[in-house]
Amino acid sequence: MQQKQRLTRSTAYFIPYTLWIVLFVIAPVLLLIYQSFFNIDGQFTFANYQTYFASSTYLMMTVNSVWYAFLITLATLLISYPTAYLLNETKHPQLWLLLIIMPTWINLLLKAYAFIGIFSQAGIANQFLSFIGIGPKQLLFTNFSFIFVAAYIQIPFMVLPIYNSISELKPSYVNASRDLGATNWQTFSRVIFPLTLPGVKAGIQAVFIPSLSLFMLTRLIGGNKVITLGTAIEEHFLTTMNWGMGSTIGVVLIIAMVIIMWLTSGRQPRKGLTK
């Protein structure tokens, strides 16, 4: 009897969660898929998908989006892994972690505007370049600045999961590896890295997926020199009001994200996925 009661209570706890998922995850995705089958006059059609896959513009944009998301993820990973590793060696890792997470408390737009100030012609970065004798350079509206700012914004989301998996790593494994005569590099590549791979994968998911659809930064920092699918979606929903086409691009993005999830969530660690 008591057990049955507990059971109903635990299902009751699930109701808010299920409702949330249904109302704000499943329903919007279904709506998006539904919308993508209608043209601008409200007729049912597959033409949006035909347009998408027949247009070199959209295909180029897809390649661009994936390429930039890859570069952002790579840059983030290269900075985050050593950071997370060193963090684990410090005396007060929680304090350092807090400092790394702190920038996420600030609104994304504010951070973008701060970078505009830093990278502009008369900004601090250029003042420094002039001071050391290189002279002012065009920093804003370059691929470099776009990837730099995007990576800056994503780093906390990469550091956290990697830090967690490194701190869970038992030091005895490392000691055993050394006792058996492995070099530092062998210890890292054969023991530490494979064991922390789940954290790396979680970080890649957390960074790559939002990076695919970045659109505010492409304009503010990239000056629309970097065009991703997010830009096209924004335009279709706000200017052309072609919601069908906008939804189609949205669906393609979701599929791309599902593929990434699937690639990075394999149970057995596969080689070559996290290069």
Partner 1 sequence: MKKLISAIIGLLLVCGLLALGAQHLQTSAGSTGKKVLNLYTWGDYIDPSLLTKFQKQTGYHVNVETFDSNEAMFTKIKQGGTSYDLTVPSDYMIEKMKAAKLLLPLDKKRLTGMQNYDPRFMNLAFDKHNRYSVPYFWGTLGIVYNDKYVKPGSIKHWNDLWTKKYRNNIMLIDSARDVMGMALASMNQSMNTTDPATLLAARNKLNRLAPNVKAVVADEIKMYMIQNEAAVAVDWSGEASEMLAGNSHLHYVVPSEGSNLWFDNLVIPKTAKHFKAIYAFLNFMSEPKNAAQNAEYIGYATPNLKAKALLPKAVRNDRQFYPDNNTIRHLQIYQDLSPAKVGLYNDRYLEFKMHH
Kindly list the residues in this chain that would bind partner 1 in the complex (CB under 8 A). Answer: 8, 11-12, 15, 19, 40-41, 57, 60-61, 64, 116, 120-122, 138, 140-141, 219-220, 223-225, 227, 231-232, 235-236, 238-242, 245
Task: In angstroms, give the least distance from the CB of 227 to partner 1.
Answer: 5
Measured between alpha carbons, how far is residue 70 from residues 9, 194, 209, 210, 258 in Å?
45, 21, 10, 11, 15
Closer of 72 and 140 to partner 1 (Cβ): 140
Task: In angstroms, give the least distance from the CB of 132 to partner 1.
Answer: 22
Q: Give the DSSP letter string of 110-168.
A: HHHHHHHHHHSTTSHHHHHHHHTTS-----TTSHHHHHHHHHHHHHHHHHHHHHHHHHH
Closer of 135 and 181 to partner 1 (Cβ): 135
Task: In angstroms, give the least distance from the CB of 238 to partner 1.
Answer: 6
Closer of 51 and 104 to partner 1 (Cβ): 51
Neighbours of 17 (CB within 10 A): 9
Task: In angstroms, give the least distance from the CB of 146 to partner 1.
Answer: 11
Q: CA 49, CA 20: separation in Å to the nearest integer? A: 30
Closer of 120 and 164 to partner 1 (Cβ): 120
Sequence-distant (6+) residues with CB within 8 A of 166 are 84, 85, 87, 88, 192, 196, 199
Task: In angstroms, give the least distance from the CB of 235 to partner 1.
Answer: 6
Closer of 27 and 258 to partner 1 (Cβ): 27
